[in-house]
Amino acid sequence: MNRTKFFMSCVLTACFLAFFTVKDVRAGDVEFYITDTLFGDVKTRYCWICTGPAFRSTGTHFFTTPLQRTHFYTASDGFGSPYGDWKCWFNDANTVLQEIECAGPRGGYSHSFEFSIKKNTIAVDFVEVGSGFDVRPTTTRAVATGDVSAEAAAPEEVQTAALGDDAREDKPDRDTFTFDAVEGDAIILRLVRDPAKGHLGSLARLKLRRLGAGSGEEVVSGAVPLRLKTTISESGLYEVVVEQDENNKEDWYRGDYFLVLRPGLAEIVPGEDVEF
């Protein structure tokens, strides 16, 4: 009898762990970024820590302002889902006493706030707005209340590739793609990291131009994910360039990514310089 109870207990425990581990397995990682430039060149230092579902913790980080958009944590889609309720604490760290407080229990921190990560979130930005930090999530698709927005519902064309495989130490890597477009097409290009693969760094550049003499180009750059929205002004063959930022070598994005064209009006054709 006791053996039967022990066996059933083990089975129930195993089922619970399996459910906890595999649920939302398609969630993907969520990247955390912080920006604090509100007070110009005024320097101040503070410590920061966030905790979330399944015992996740960012660990304690120290930041010094002014602080441009900086990646500091990846909520990985591993043991359990990163979706759910989170809480962050931060405290001044300008004196020795304050640094000691940073090393102590979070109850001693002077500021805290809570937020939730919802499904389809791929990044969360914490932006200083004067009264504290504004939490700004980025989702893989725009979902309207009660329904799916036109952007989310539209079909898409996707290419997978990798940055950093063939770059020399002194030269950024560059991938090119082409697609046909017609005047008046409203398109959205997105560069998103592959959540199933590892990566290093965060900065990249996404460019779009019509092939032909005198054609201008549209550019977005910064930390991946990137999004470029435009309306095609002239029919023709268009080139998309995904590249590392030569001005920020220490934080080049290196890893696999998805290039998404929405709506999927045409096939994205990879160039010879694209690694898979």
The CA distance from 200 to 198, in Å, is 7
Q: Is the pLDDT of residue 14 over 60?
A: no
The SS3 call for residue 8 is: helix
The CA distance from 9 to 23, in Å, is 21
Which tokens go with 24? 């939302």
The SS3 call for residue 26 is: coil
Which tokens go with 268? 């994205």
> What is the predicted pLDDT for the residue at 23?
38
> What is the predicted pLDDT for the residue at 159?
75
**Single-letter amino acid, residue 119:** K
Tens of pLDDT, residues 77-115: 766 788 899 999 999 999 999 998 899 888 889 899 999
- pTM: predicted TM-score of the whole model, two decimal places: 0.47
Q: What is the mean pLDDT of the chain?
A: 79
Query: Quick count: other Cβ atoms within 10 Å of Cβ 15?
Result: 10
Tell me how far the alpha carbon of residue 237 is from its chain's centroid: 30
Do the Cβ atoms of 172 and 243 come closer than 8 Å? yes
Q: Which residue has the higher pLDDT, 213 or 241?
A: 241
Tens of pLDDT, residues 24-77: 333 467 889 999 988 788 899 999 999 999 889 999 999 999 998 888 998 887
Q: Domains of the chain, with CATH numbers?
A: 30-139 (2.60.40), 150-270 (2.60.120.380)
Q: Is the pLDDT of residue 142 over 70?
A: no
> What is the predicted pLDDT for the residue at 258?
85
